[in-house]
Structure 1
Amino acid sequence: MGFSATDVQAAMRDLQAFQDESESSGAFAVPSGGVDGFLERVMEREPVADVFGSDVGEGSGGDILEELLNPTVNSRHNPLALPNDGMLGSSAFLRAQRKPRGGWLASPSRATDRSKLFGERSGQSVGSDSRERKLFSAGELQAGGAVPEESQSAASSRTALSDVNGMSYEEFIVRLLQPASSDLLDYVRNLINSILHAHAENDPSCEELRGTLTNFYGVMITSMASHRAWGSANPPVDEDGLLSARNWLEKFVMSKIGHICFAAAQETAQDDALLRKMEQLRLLTPEDLHVPEYVQNELSLELAAAELRKINGVVTPGEKIACVVQCATMIFSVLNLARKRGDTTSRPGADDFLPVFIYVVLQARVPKLQSNCAYIEAFHNPVNLMSKAGYCFVNLCSASAFIMDLDCTSIGMDPKAFDEKIAEAAAL
């Protein structure tokens, strides 16, 4: 027995309420029960009794993702799981480590010559139109002023950047807006205005933007490490705080210029080709993609797909990768809750995860998925792509590539039955 659209919408409202509760609890803490607890409540709506059994066991979807990052713990990794050298084993992330080719901002070793970048005076902004005035409101420019507003979709997207031992985004903004940080704030303002000005004059390339921002982050964090309001403050901002500051700096800057960077990274032809392929394959069932029967819970998998669809409703790379992480975490939670119904009682691994993830990505049919991947790879903090977020990102790229090349032989399906499903999807 399946679920109606009303059932799915009701569960999605419940999930939104769960996420709102998580956000309001402070520092991105998870309410009692976590994602697994929420999914248990969702699964109670399953018309078939006791589909998943009653023994949930220990470990959440997030815990299992963390465990998968250590290959000595789980030996059931497939080639898509992390190698012993972590994310550096992936060619995508080797590219993310490439030395930038420069851009409008000088590298740390040449950062002192700011007159060539921002005018004769270091505090002089590039461009004089209204775009500059919209960067910071009067309230934001006061010490301890209000935190810049986020869109509703951005606020509801669980961030992957929070660090329990670091500082929160609110703390970062308050410290940046202190009078003692005015020189750093000027640097941020000038960076944003220089990119807005360059965009108005001549659209910069993805590589130019990437090089500019990489150099900017390097200059800022190096400066913060010894700055009177940061590393040399009393008490000083410690190493964890500076790591958080790098992430929050990216979030703030990209909330202003993310649309420019996304346009530069956009891969329209690949996006269109992948979306057409997903539309052709949309009638493939979980059985066709070898998703185990014990995790074929329609409502839970639709909720995971809904998390992935949020990726186009947020702007910054961190918020986008958070959508991917949340989707993957929900899938691992479903696998964890359902494992007693499978052939093994061990915790789920990458072999269990990937077929389900491919099915969810296929059913989500996210527009501009290739562009989102290119944008994240180019503009997200590469350090964060060597952890849980990176694992999820590698699997998203792999799932997209698998779907793009998928045919009857890929999944061992009868060619006639495969062609019939393609024809039926085309007729809808």
Structure 2
Amino acid sequence: MWTDKQRGIRLSQEELLCKNSCGYYGNPAWQGFCSKCWRERMRPSEAHRQDARQSSDATPPTFSKFEEKKNMEKSRRINTMRRLFWGGPSPPKQEPSDSHMSVLKAFQNLQPGDFTGFLKVLRSPSSQRLQSRCTTFLNTMEAYHDLPVQKQSDLVQDFYQSYAEYFSSFSEAELTQTMEHVEKLIMTRLHKWVFCHDSCDDEQKDLALQRRIRSLTWVTPQMLSVPFPDVQSSITGDPFLPAITAIIEMDAKRAPQDKLVCVSKCSQHVFEALSNSNSEPANADDFLSALVYVVLKANPPRLHSNMQYVIRFGLPHSLMAGESGYYFTNLSCAVAFIEKLDGPALNLSPAEFEGYMRHRRGPGAAGSARQQVAEATQHLLDELTCRQEKLDRGVDALNLQLQKWVQTVHSQLDEAASQFSTVQKDPTESSLLSPNSAPTGEDLKEQVVLTDQYAGPNDSDC
């Protein structure tokens, strides 16, 4: 009955989008919501918990004291944010329009990905206030690196939003490019403080995910319905090896956008491998199944921590929309699928799945990658054997022709030798005969008779 079930991972485009129907990509880490809807959903619950803690005090404050405390807390938060963003408790002074326009124009003239040029513009005298904001924020975050990681994430996201207001006159593409440079500047320095923070259980989840992936090394591409090249094709080795290399490189990057670049490269290599392995265009189901196979083969180091780092400290637009958002959402779905992988997902019975997990069984010969390599090697060996047999037949035919040629040469030599001996005997015989005519057989008989008649007695005695 298990063979009647449909293999592979089926995930529609609607399931990748936010559950709030806002049009952006959701994520399992946000319970299917996008980052914007998730933050809006979490803030009321946090405020409710804070009010509940205040109401649980033994001595309830009066209304006037409550309002006074609330205003003091609000002014304290405002001053804190001003110190974080502007370097002081006072509001920022309005910059002259000419200076403001020159700074904006300098940032607009930057080429995409020119991070060195961005640093030069940021360190220029006209951008001194922007540089001061970044430096003050970094120093503050490093000083308070013991804060819970979620609180640090909120501070970084608020900083992105506040910093982006300075470039509100930019187009969407220009603002995205500029904020990506800001993110790289900020998170490259904060990486050692916030990555895999002590206040969260990312390290334990990394180890659990690695053990889970190691226990699933027996899963084959055929079990996941991943199109794989046939043995007869010219493709040798694993076509998904470039994708495996790209996803492993993600751990070596510091900025969230650089980690997303590795995810995008991995996904693009997956699509290339699918297009080379299958004559039909790759669809979303094939891509997700192949991505699961790549993650199982790669077992990337600290995968959970890297994904949480991107979710917490990456720019929201990078995860909510665009190519990088689509790829990262699929990667999150692939990890969630691996964590909940069971027998029916692989078209296996519970007993078969348990046998594979306990290493009491091995994958079938048709679905084993090792068997595929053996079949490919056997195919090459058969081809070489055919070529060797053809070469042997050619050698045998050449030997036969050579033997016939030697026999022909020997016969011609024997014939020539016999003719030469005949030619040598002819002059000797002709010298014993008359010069005019050669004696016949009758003549020789008559000579013998005459000799016997005239022979004397002495002659006969002799």
Which TM class, normalised by the smaller chain length? 0.5 to 0.7
Hey, what's the Cα distance between the residues in 2 that align with 1:243 and 1:285? 40
Q: Deviations over 1:21-72 (max 9, x none)?
A: xxxxxxxxxxxxxxxxxxxxxxxxxxxxxxxxxxxxxxxxxxxxxxxxxxxx
Aligned: 1:255 with 2:154: no
Counterpart of 1:312 in structure 2: which amino acid?
D
Aligned: 1:322 with 2:258: no
Identify if the C-alpha distance between structure 1 residues 366 and 266 changes in structure 2 by more than 3 Å, giving closer, same or farther: farther
Q: Which residue of 1 aligns with 2:301?
A: 367
Counterpart of 1:219 in structure 2: which amino acid?
S
Mapping 1:224-373, distance limit 5 Å: 224-225=167-168, 239-264=172-197, 267-294=202-229, 298-340=237-279, 345=280, 347-373=281-307
Does the 8 Å CA contact 1:166/1:241 hold for their aligned counterparts? Answer: no
Q: Work out which structure has the larger RCO, using CA pairs closer than 8 Å and 6 or more positions apart in sequence.
A: 1
Aligned: 1:186 with 2:132: yes
Identify if the C-alpha distance between structure 1 residues 221 and 110 changes in structure 2 by more than 3 Å, giving closer, same or farther: farther
Q: Which residue of 1 aligns with 2:420?
A: none
Counterpart of 1:320 in structure 2: which amino acid?
K
Task: State the shift of 1:409 in Å.
Answer: 2.3
Hey, what's the Cα distance between the residues in 2 that align with 1:361 and 1:317? 19
Q: Deviations over 1:271-317 (max 9, x none)?
A: 22211111111122111222123489643212211110111111111
Does the 8 Å CA contact 2:82/2:89 hold for their aligned counterparts? Answer: no
Q: Percent identity between the aligned chains? A: 25
Identify if the C-alpha distance between structure 1 residues 239 and 301 changes in structure 2 by more than 3 Å, giving closer, same or farther: closer
Runs of 5+ unmatched residues, structure 1: 1-75, 124-162, 226-230, 232-236
Aligned: 1:114 with 2:53: no
Q: Which residue of 2 aligns with 1:175?
A: 121
Specify which structure has the higher proportion of helix.
2
Report SS of the residue matched to 2:348: coil
TM-score by length of 1: 0.60
Identify if the C-alpha distance between structure 1 residues 392 and 244 changes in structure 2 by more than 3 Å, giving closer, same or farther: same
Aligned length: 295
Report SS of the residue matched to 1:94: coil
Report SS of the residue matched to 2:289: helix
Q: Which residue of 2 aligns with 1:211?
A: 154
From 87, 93, 96, the counterpart of 2:24? 87
Q: Which residue of 1 aligns with 2:342?
A: 407
Does the 8 Å CA contact 1:357/1:399 hold for their aligned counterparts? Answer: yes
Hey, what's the Cα distance between the residues in 2 that align with 1:209 and 1:168? 28
Hey, what's the Cα distance between the residues in 2 that align with 1:383 and 1:408? 37
Mapping 1:48-59, distance limit 5 Å: none
Task: State the shift of 1:266 in Å.
Answer: 5.4
Identify if the C-alpha distance between structure 1 residues 425 and 365 changes in structure 2 by more than 3 Å, giving closer, same or farther: farther
Task: State the shift of 1:240 in Å.
Answer: 2.9
Does the 8 Å CA contact 1:167/1:241 hold for their aligned counterparts? Answer: no
Does the 8 Å CA contact 1:289/1:411 hold for their aligned counterparts? Answer: yes
Q: Which residue of 2 aligns with 1:18?
A: none
Aligned: 1:384 with 2:318: yes
Report SS of the residue matched to 2:338: helix
Report SS of the residue matched to 2:195: helix
Hey, what's the Cα distance between the residues in 2 that align with 1:110 and 1:239? 30
Task: State the shift of 1:107 in Å.
Answer: 12
Mapping 1:138-153, distance limit 5 Å: none
Hey, what's the Cα distance between the residues in 1 that align with 2:14 and 2:276? 25
Task: State the shift of 1:193 in Å.
Answer: 0.8
Report SS of the residue matched to 2:209: helix
Task: State the shift of 1:112 in Å.
Answer: 7.9
Q: Deviations over 1:130-165 (max 9, x none)?
A: xxxxxxxxxxxxxxxxxxxxxxxxxxxxxxxxx998
Q: Deviations over 1:237-293 (max 9, x none)?
A: 655322211111001110000222222365223222211111111122111222123
Which of these two proteins has the greater Rg computed from alpha carbons? 2
Identify if the C-alpha distance between structure 1 residues 256 and 165 changes in structure 2 by more than 3 Å, giving closer, same or farther: closer
- What's the RMSD between the two structures over aligned residues? 3.9
Counterpart of 1:214 in structure 2: which amino acid?
Q
Hey, what's the Cα distance between the residues in 2 that align with 1:350 and 1:116? 42
